[in-house]
Amino acid sequence: MHNDKLKNIIEAILLASYEPLSVDKLFKIITSKEKTSKSDILSAIDNLEKDYVGKDIEIAKVASGFRIQAKSEIGDYLNIMFADRTPRYSRALLETLSIIAYRQPVTRGDIESIRGVSVSTSIMRILTERNWIRIIGYRDVPGKPAMFATTSEFLDYFSLQRLEELPDLPEKKEPMDLDLELDDQSINKQELSDNSSASVVVDSDLEFNTPTVED
């Protein structure tokens, strides 16, 4: 098939589809009518990408495949258009989602022990209904609690291809390093101990002095 024709077909298919399509899926669709190959499809997508340079739409690769989307630069305009339809997610929901994403598979108990509050049923329902999380099994402990994991729809939504692309989880700190760091997270311990002007006095076991590390 002629390259431009393939490119146009792929463009139309991606535009008509409201969910990302993988190369496999595109191949299946197209090959039912025309002879083509996966590498042809990939290079057609490449060409299509070049077509969009300088425009406000683009081809993005996310976990479930390719999709054509409006660039984030014009998100502001679209937000005006969709004013009331932009979903807002609470901090509680985002925290819950983060714990599931980074610690999966997790049970409700795991989430509760990290957040210190009970898991809201409505949050879990929203996450499940949006297809961002699903139950992938049951932990073999009393009560057989369900274990949750994220889905590829979750990655698609956040424009990611793999879980590894998530922002890095801050490094785990042990209480030992703590006494100097909490007032200002950005100052690391090395700096503090080198800096003699920071009046940190460490004396007896029981008296934990408040270092005056202020901004």
Nearest to 129 by CA among 104, 154, 111, 105: 154
Q: Which of 82, 135, 137, 144 binds other proteins (CB under 8 A)?
A: 82
Q: Under the criterion CB under 8 A, does residue 101 sit at the interface with other proteins?
A: yes
Q: Under the criterion CB under 8 A, does residue 75 sit at the interface with other proteins?
A: yes
| Binding segment toward other proteins, per CB under 8 A, in 37-45, 134-142, 144-152, 201-209 | 201-209
Q: Under the criterion CB under 8 A, does residue 118 sit at the interface with other proteins?
A: yes
Residue number, 138 or 208, with CB nearest to other proteins = 208
For 58, the token pair is 């683009």
Q: Under the criterion CB under 8 A, does residue 54 sit at the interface with other proteins?
A: no
Q: Under the criterion CB under 8 A, does residue 67 sit at the interface with other proteins?
A: yes
Q: Under the criterion CB under 8 A, does residue 161 sit at the interface with other proteins?
A: no
| Binding segment toward other proteins, per CB under 8 A, in 25-33, 95-103, 136-144, 186-194 | 95-103
Q: Can you tell me the distance from the alpha carbon of 193 to that of 211, in angstroms, rounded to the nearest whole number? A: 12
CA 156, 157, 161, 162 dihedral sign is negative
Cα atoms found within 13 Å of the Cα of residue 199, Cβ hemisphere only: 3
Cα atoms found within 13 Å of the Cα of residue 18, Cβ hemisphere only: 0
With the CA atoms of 95, 125, 108 and 93 taken in that order, what torsion angle do they form, in degrees rounded to the nearest 10? 10
Q: Under the criterion CB under 8 A, does residue 72 sit at the interface with other proteins?
A: yes
| Binding segment toward other proteins, per CB under 8 A, in 1-9, 26-34, 71-79, 138-146 | 71-79
